[in-house]
């Protein structure tokens, strides 16, 4: 395993330094160096980080002044060896893949699979970091033409540039000088692309145009010197003082952007560059400052005609509740004090619960974005960005999956495809898939996805496909030809649809293919073992134990989980794996080729680059707490910080795909607008597909997402709900915002502003973690940097990436006020650094099972551990530091996912949420201990999150009270007098009016509101009491809580019922309380009616009160009862059980009720 360094020039050595924990001890840390050093800091000269020296990776490596790594090993415990990666025709060595930017620009028209994307990296605790070159059989060579080459067939000359940056014709067809002259002479001056005549063709066959083009290509247009310039009286001179000391070629910028000389001109063309139709063909100069001052977002308040009556009704209902409860306490039922006591206790708790739920809803807001301003500000040419490259910050997208059986690989593949085709700068997007199960099925499915993406992504970009999930797009029932004008759309759609069907077949056949392949290799290994036993002269009768391994397609062992669950290859015990399926793209666009036998679509005018795609499976070892999904997300945070380091992170579940390709731009409008540096995350609402039309179990959850979350947006921001959220990376790192507000006094009415990101901070709180402004002469910054390893681990590359991410996530300088720090415009329009083997090996080290030991990961940094609802706790911690969040509701849904429509699955999902809330209530994350940086109403909302499961205890009692009243002949009040009825009517009417107004300002409908009320009682009598019991057991007895992963529904086959899972009856202990409540209330109604009818002195008022509340309970439980009945038209076993029970009960009641001795006039009805 250990080899000496080879002197062969053809090899590409990668030197690995391994540090052992002692003689014979396990390997604890490792470092890896590369022949070409990789710097983790920005290569932008405008960045304040460019002055610092390059940092190395972890493992005790040091750097010399010249930037080369010191080869001397100081400690004798360090061992140096070399891993040789053999070069092949398809896989060049490391040094060949790490070419300079100039070489990339020359060869970007020849896309080849890079060394990194063809190598799988593994490693972890007590194992060696290895790079295994893989043979990929699904690659195919593609011939593409770059955007600077001639578009004529058989011509590879450089395209000429004319009056438009795209070529001599307005259609943008690229053509070189020789082909252009041929077209003028032979084709009659018509463009080969659009078949239209060239507008600039004159009688001299384009000689003037050719001379102008050649002259422009030879040299830039210099500005005349001021000494030789003789100003005209009509022209004014304005000297530029924007950047007097910077070396900037203004003449080249004018030529490349086709600009003019500014306000010194007497006249200004319309639209900045062309000729207008105003007075004498010209208009007034445009207002350049207006682009900067225009906001990216606007807050739209709810109409006062709706909001004012809404708030007034809240006050009226609160007053009515106060008077009602006062009257109830002062007028007890002397005949049944125990019944009165239970009812008044429940009613007091319900009033408190309603108040906690209603107070945060008093300030709802709506927000809108302006994507045109975003494009003008960050993707238009300017002084610092002459070519108009995208100045948007990078975005890392996280997708998490854990079990390919419950989360089908095809669902995950469609989510990945929607991410790769998102409308965001390709070079700024990086997608990471976390496979917490380490499954080869997920790995090979992702490889197939990367292959199909080369066809799907250009098709989406060319024709503007929405949604960009192929399963959702091809499965929609609307007219797919709407708004399509390209003649080749139908033909190319048919081809892509067939390719996608074949892709689905390949994905579905992967499990069987992996099994057959593994069986064949294992049988071969057994034969080899027997042959070796015979050669050694062993006893043939002894059985040979050969591990049942899982094999990859290239004939090597899969380093992750095996189906046989052997040692080092089980779900909780396997090595860490990183595989770059798609390498980082080039900075310049790469255009494809015409449709032929290998290319399904004509992509000559489409950018065919794909974002970086990385497969990550963190290391798992026995004896370590891996913290479920939160631990997997933190591993992705560290991996992405080293490989791409996007300042913003989008978190998605494997079944939530991007439904709106502009969703990322919508979210970035809030992050990059004025005041956006205080925003920690932008939460999008969750929308679901595949739900039955009646939404029997309130799966859409619109009352929460459209009412509660909109209302929280008017306070300090919505909660984090686990998916569909764009994070600021520095906020996830646990840093405080640059500015915060403390709320003092009653209800936080007195405010105190804090500036937390100053170079000198006089006073800090005990747990304050502020990110200082980078200053090379500041001692405090050096002290903060020394504390980073304690907080983030011993990876120097990870520590060096933190200030880079902070700088890239800043606002532009012109948006910052006086005294604030921003980044210069155009500072992010630089190409990304190439990805090398040393970087991937460093990423392997940060996903090891022991990396988080003695660090603050999960405690303050990243996703917070200790709760099954880590999402709510993570968002709470950010709000508690003073950050604020934004709720982004787009016109077209941003993301869509699936939800469990089966009753049992839905109850278990609610059980997990409620259990996490109970954990929050009994932890330090309870809002009672929140800091003064959290607003009062925001604190009330978070306190209600931990309180709502306890309402179930009172709800169960209250659901049994009507039945008890009917059984005993008593009621919660002594008599149904007018006062009680008036109060009851007022409380009910105000609740109905509040619901109507909520429907008006939130946009939901009455059916959704009623379904939410029904499932509130269903969940409150089934899942919530169980959650309270589990939470109490964990707090008192220390019993750990385990939850079942929610199954993601796969796409139904043709002919199958889309909602078949809705009718499946799966028995669960959670169903016992609701069934008991229904049975008891139905029996009580029968008993109460019979007793009253045959009573000598019937008390109809008490009967009416008991029956009314029993029917109220049964109406809310109707969806639950319908779910127990199974499919319509079929009679499940439970129906026969119910029938038998009801028959027995009715018989007993008939025996119990004695017939009347005489005829009574019992049909008279009157109130006492």
Q: Which residues are catalytic?
A: 436, 871
Place of tokens 């593949």: 413
Using DSSP bridges, classify how beta strands 145-146 and 590-591 pair: parallel, antiparallel or unpaired. antiparallel
| Residue 276 DSSP class | -
Residues 6+ apart with CB under 8 A from 55: 39, 40, 41, 63, 796, 797, 799, 800
- In Å, what is the CA distance from 828 to each residue of 394, 424, 738? 9, 14, 21
Question: What kind and span of H or E run contains 127?
Answer: strand 127-133
Place of tokens 């004798």: 76
Give CA–CA dist 1080/1085, Å, rounded. 9
Reading the block at residue 603, the tokens are: 């992509």
Give CA–CA dist 897/914, Å, rounded. 21
CB 396 within 8 A of CB 633: no
Q: φ and ψ at 38, to 5 degrees?
A: -115, 125
CB 846 within 8 A of CB 642: yes
Give CA–CA dist 151/605, Å, rounded. 10
CB 1000 within 8 A of CB 702: no
Reading the block at residue 152, the tokens are: 């004529």
Give CA–CA dist 833/644, Å, rounded. 9
Helices (H), 809-848: 837-845
Helices (H), 544-653: 628-643
From edge to edge, which strands make up the β-sheet containing 612-617? 127-133, 119-124, 576-582, 612-617, 429-435, 395-401, 648-653, 725-728, 679-683, 884-887
CB 335 within 8 A of CB 974: yes
Write out the E strands in 553-643: 569-570, 573-574, 576-582, 590-591, 612-617
Positive or negative, the CA dihedral 654, 660, 665, 666 is negative
Residue 393: how many other CB atoms lie within 10 Å: 24
| 433 strand-pairing partners | 399, 615
Most distant CA atoms of the chain, gap in Å: 127
- In Å, what is the CA distance from 814 to each residue of 383, 391, 672, 673, 942? 14, 14, 12, 11, 36
Closest CA to 742 of 756, 722, 729, 728: 756
Closest CA to 914 of 906, 864, 685, 860: 906
Place of tokens 């300042």: 647
Residues 6+ apart with CB under 8 A from 873: 864, 866, 867, 920, 925
Place of tokens 């009960």: 1145
Question: Cis before residue 467, ω within 30 degrees of 0?
Answer: yes
Closest CA to 410 of 511, 478, 495: 511
| Residue 737 DSSP class | P
| Residue 263 DSSP class | G
Closest CA to 295 of 827, 672, 583: 672
Give CA–CA dist 113/136, Å, rounded. 10
Closest CA to 917 of 1041, 1009, 1017, 1038: 1041
């Amino acid at each position: 395993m250990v080899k000496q360094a080879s002197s062969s020039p053809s090899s590409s050595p990668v030197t690995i330094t391994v540090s052992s924990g002692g003689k014979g001890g396990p390997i604890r840390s490792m470092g890896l160096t590369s022949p070409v050093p990789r710097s983790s800091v920005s290569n932008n000269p405008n960045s304040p980080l460019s002055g610092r020296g390059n940092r190395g990776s972890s493992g005790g490596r040091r750097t010399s002044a010249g930037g080369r790594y010191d080869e001397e090993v100081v400690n004798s415990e360090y061992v140096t060896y070399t891993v040789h990666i053999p070069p092949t025709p398809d896989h060049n060595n490391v040094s060949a893949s790490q070419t300079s930017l100039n070489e990339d620009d020359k060869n970007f028209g020849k896309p080849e699979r890079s060394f990194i994307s063809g190598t799988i990296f593994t490693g972890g605790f007590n194992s060696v970091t290895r790079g295994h070159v893989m043979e990929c059989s699904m690659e195919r060579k593609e011939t593409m033409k770059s955007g600077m080459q001639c578009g004529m067939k058989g011509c590879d000359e450089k395209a000429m540039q004319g009056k438009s940056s795209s070529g001599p014709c307005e259609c943008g067809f690229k053509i070189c000088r020789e082909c252009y002259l041929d077209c003028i002479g032979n084709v009659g001056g018509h463009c080969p692309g659009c078949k239209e005549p060239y507008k600039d063709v004159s009688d001299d066959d384009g000689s003037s145009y050719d001379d102008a083009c050649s002259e422009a290509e030879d040299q830039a247009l210099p500005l005349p010197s001021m000494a030789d310039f003789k100003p005209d009286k009509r022209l004014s001179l304005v000297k530029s003082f924007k950047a007097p000391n910077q070396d900037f070629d203004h003449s080249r910028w004018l030529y490349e952007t086709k600009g003019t000389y500014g306000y010194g001109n007497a006249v200004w063309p319309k639209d900045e560059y062309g000729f207008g139709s105003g007075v004498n063909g010209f208009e007034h100069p445009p207002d350049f400052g207006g682009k900067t001052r225009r906001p990216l977002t606007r807050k739209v308040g709810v109409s006062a005609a709706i909001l004012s009556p809404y708030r007034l009704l809240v006050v009226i209902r609160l007053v009515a509740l106060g008077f009602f409860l006062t009257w109830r306490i002062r007028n007890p039922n002397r005949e049944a004090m125990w019944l009165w006591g239970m009812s008044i206790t429940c009613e007091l708790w319900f009033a408190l619960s309603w108040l906690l739920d209603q107070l945060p809803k008093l300030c709802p807001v709506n927000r809108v974005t302006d994507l045109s301003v975003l494009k003008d500000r960050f993707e238009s040419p300017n002084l610092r960005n002459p070519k108009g490259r995208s100045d948007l910050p990078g975005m890392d997208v996280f997708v998490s999956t854990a079990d390919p059986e419950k989360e089908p690989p095809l669902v995950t593949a469609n989510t990945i495809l929607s991410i790769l085709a998102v409308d965001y700068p390709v070079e700024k997007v990086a997608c990471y898939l976390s496979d917490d199960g380490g499954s080869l099925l997920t790995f090979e499915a992702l490889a197939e996805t990367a292959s199909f993406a080369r066809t799907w992504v250009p098709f989406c970009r060319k024709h503007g496909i929405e949604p960009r999930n192929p399963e959702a797009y091809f499965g929609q029932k609307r007219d797919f030809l709407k708004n399509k004008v390209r003649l080749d759309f139908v033909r190319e759609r048919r081809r892509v649809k067939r390719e996608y069907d074949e892709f689905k077949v390949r994905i579905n056949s992967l499990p069987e293919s992996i099994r057959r392949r593994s069986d064949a290799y294992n049988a071969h290994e057994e034969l080899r073992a027997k042959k070796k036993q015979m050669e050694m002269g062993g006893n043939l009768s002894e059985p040979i134990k050969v591990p049942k391994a899982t094999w990859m397609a290239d004939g090597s062992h899969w380093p992750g989980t095996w189906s046989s669950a052997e040692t080092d290859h089980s779900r909780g015990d396997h090595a860490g794996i990183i595989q770059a399926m798609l390498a980082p793209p080039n900075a310049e666009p790469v255009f494809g080729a015409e449709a032929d036998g290998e290319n399904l679509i004509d992509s000559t005018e489409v950018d065919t680059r794909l974002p970086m795609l990385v497969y990550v499976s963190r290391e798992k070892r026995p004896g370590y707490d891996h913290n479920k999904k939160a631990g997997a997300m933190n591993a992705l945070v560290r991996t992405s910080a080293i490989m791409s380091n996007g300042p913003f992170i989008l978190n998605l579940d494997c079944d939530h795909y991007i439904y709106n390709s502009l969703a990322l731009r919508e979210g970035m409008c809030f992050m990059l607008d004025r005041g956006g540096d205080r925003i920690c995350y932008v939460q999008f609402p969750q929308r679901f597909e595949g739900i039955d039309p009646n939404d029997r179990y309130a799966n859409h959850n619109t009352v929460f997402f459209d009412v509660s979350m909109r209302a929280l947006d008017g306070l300090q921001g919505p909660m984090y709900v686990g998916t569909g959220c764009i994070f600021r990376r520095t906020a996830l790192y646990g840093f405080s915002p640059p500015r915060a507000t403390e709320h003092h006094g009653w209800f936080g009415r007195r405010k105190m502003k804090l500036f937390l990101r100053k170079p000198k901070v006089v006073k800090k709180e005990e747990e304050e973690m502020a990110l200082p402004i980078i200053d090379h002469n500041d001692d405090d910054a050096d002290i903060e940097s020394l504390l980073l390893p304690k907080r983030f681990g011993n990876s120097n590359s990870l520590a060096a990436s933190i200030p880079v991410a902070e700088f890239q996530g800043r606002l532009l300088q012109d948006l910052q006020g006086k005294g604030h720090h921003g980044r210069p415009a155009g500072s992010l329009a630089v190409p990304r650094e190439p990805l090398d083997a040393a970087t991937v090996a460093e990423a392997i080290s940060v996903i090891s099972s022991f990396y988080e030991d003695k660090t603050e990961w999960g405690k303050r940094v990243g996703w917070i551990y200790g709760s099954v609802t880590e999402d709510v706790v993570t968002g709470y911690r950010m709000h508690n530091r003073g950050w604020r969040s934004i709720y982004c509701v787009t016109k077209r849904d941003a993301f869509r996912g699936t939800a469990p429509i089966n009753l049992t699955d839905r109850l278990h999902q609610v059980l997990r949420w409620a259990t996490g809330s109970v954990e929050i209530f009994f932890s330090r994350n309870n809002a009672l201990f929140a800091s003064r940086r959290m607003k009062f109403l925001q604190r009330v909302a978070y306190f209600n999150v931990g309180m709502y499961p306890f309402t179930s205890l009172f709800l169960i009692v209250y659901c049994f009270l009507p039945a008890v009243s009917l059984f005993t002949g008593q009621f919660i009040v002594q008599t149904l007098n007018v006062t009680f009825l008036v109060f009851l009517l007022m409380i009910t009417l105000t609740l109905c009016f509040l619901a109507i107004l909520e429907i008006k300002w939130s946009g939901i409908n009455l059916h959704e509101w009623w379904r939410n009320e029904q499932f509130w009682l269903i969940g409150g009598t089934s899942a919530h009491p169980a959650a309270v019991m589990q939470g109490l057991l964990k707090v008192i007895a220390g019993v750990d809580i385990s939850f079942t992963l929610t199954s993601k529904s796969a796409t139904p086959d043709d002919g199958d019922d889309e909602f078949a899972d809705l009718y499946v009856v799966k028995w669960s202990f959670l169903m016992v309380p609701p069934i008991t409540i229904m049975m008891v209330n139905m029996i009580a109604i029968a008993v109460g009616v019979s007793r009253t009818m045959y009573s000598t002195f019937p008390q109809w008022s008490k009967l009416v009160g008991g029956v009314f509340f029993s029917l109220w309970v049964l109406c809310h439980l109707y969806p639950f009862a319908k779910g127990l009945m199974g499919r319509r038209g079929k009679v499940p076993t439970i129906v026969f059980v119910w029938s038998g029970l009801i028959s027995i009960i009715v018989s007993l009641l008939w025996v119990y009720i004695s017939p009347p001795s005489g005829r009574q006039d019992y049909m008279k009805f009157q109130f006492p």
